Structure formats: structure tokens, C-alpha cells
Amino acid sequence: MRTLVTLLVNLLVALALSAWLVTPAMADSGSVREWNFRVLLNDDEIGYHRYRLQDDGDRRTLESEAKFDVRFLFFTAYRYRHSLSEQWDGTCLESIETDTDANGKDVRVSGRKDGVGFLIETGASVSELPDCVMTFAYWDPMILDQEQLLNPQTGEYLDVTIEPLAEEVLIVRGEPTQARCYRLTAKGMQIDVWYSDDNEWLALESPAKGGRIIRYELT
């Protein structure tokens, strides 16, 4: 169970490659995009993770909420609640606020640009990061070009490696969809992410203890 808890914490990163990837055009000013995922541990649904992105030109606001309950027999073996708010200027993070309850352990992270770099506070520490940072913003395929990403749940600025995997057909909302898969590896995590041909985020998957799989599926 400890391994599963660690994986869930790292996966939510908290709540993501290649330079030739074509970045999708910015959405129209004032538009809203949403990603609603059901979360499965193997074939058992354990909760959801929802994202809402408001575009206003280069200014973007992301709101996110996750809820997991891993049950064993008749009791909840693991409970997870996570909320996030991010402000973006293009592909650079302007500010972040997160609140996470991981099985009774509460963690808060806040960060903002301070004129020199990006100041991140976790309660336990304060760190100065580069001026332009990105979180594990799977909704923006520009993360596939990054060498470091900010874990929004822990405040860690992590080295990442990303490699393209095979293309395949996924079933998305009941329809077969051509998808490209990329593998992101960082400290304590391995995450596979799928995108459509027009760079829309489709799915996410990560290994768990005992050969199990955590998977995000669009609803």
C-alpha cells in the first residue's frame, strides 16, 4: 500500500519531448476547454480527475480537482483529495495554489513570479526557480519539449526525460482514435501520456504495485 500511496502522490503531479512536435494554436479568446477523466486501478474505478482551462489570448487559468478512494473489502484503504489553481502567461507559469489531502496528510503549495524568478513555497521550504517554469501540464503538449517540470503537489522541480513510443488506436468516449504515446520518467514516477493527431490529451497511464495499472480515461 505504501508503494501505491507514493505512486498516487507522484502521479498527480501532483497531479507529461520532441522538438519536432507541432504545438496546437491557442484557443480563441475567452474559450473554455475541459477534460473529465475517470480514474481506474486496473479495471476498478477509484475516482475522477477534472480539469477546466480558460483561455484569454496568452493568459490562461487552469482549475483542477481530483478525488480517489481505493477500497479494500468494506473499508477505504486510501483516500485522496486534490485541488489546484494555476495562472499562465503563454507557456510560463505565473502563479499556483494547490491543496492536497493524501490519506490524512495535508500538503499546500503556493508559487508566484517575483520579478527575479518563480518563488515556490511548500510550508517546509521556500525555493527560487527559473523565471519560466511549467508544471506537469499534460493538457499542453509543450511539456514534451521540457527537461524540468514542477510537481504542483509537492513543489519539487524535477528533471524529466521524455521519449516517444509507438502509435496506436485508443477507444476514447467509445470511438476508436489514432493516438501517439510518450513516456515521461522522473524521480519516483513513470507516466505514459497519449495525444491525438491534433495534440489533444487523450489518456494517461502509470504502473502500480503488484503489476497493477493506474489509468485516466476521458468521459
201 within 8 A of 185, measured Cβ to Cβ: no
27 within 8 A of 34, measured Cβ to Cβ: no
Is pLDDT of 205 > 50? yes
C-alpha–C-alpha distance, residues 45 and 76, integer Å: 13
Quote the strand ranges of 3-91, DSSP E: 32-41, 44-56, 59-72, 75-89
As for how many domains the chain has, the answer is: 1
Q: Which of 120, 204, 114, 104 is nearest to 156 (CA)?
A: 120
- pLDDT for 215 equals 97
Average pLDDT score over the chain? 87
9: left (phi over 0), alpha (psi -120 to 50) or beta: alpha
CATH number for 156: 2.50.20
pLDDT range class, residue 16, cuts 50, 70, 90: very low
Report which of residues 88 and 19 the model is more confident about. Answer: 88
pLDDT range class, residue 29, cuts 50, 70, 90: low
88 within 8 A of 61, measured Cβ to Cβ: yes
- pLDDT for 209 equals 76
Report which of residues 26 and 33 the model is more confident about. Answer: 33
Give 36-81 pLDDT, tens digit per residue.
999 999 999 999 999 999 999 889 999 999 999 998 877 888 899 9
What's the pTM?
A: 0.83
Give 110-136 pLDDT, tens digit per residue.
999 998 999 999 987 899 999 999 999
* C-alpha angle 206-53-80 in degrees, rounded to nearest 5: 45
Which whole number is the average pLDDT over 127-153? 96
Is pLDDT of 19 > 80? no
The strand pairing partners of 97, in sequence order, are 85, 110
Which whole number is the average pLDDT over 147-170? 96
Q: Domain range holding 115?
A: 2-218
- pLDDT for 75 equals 84
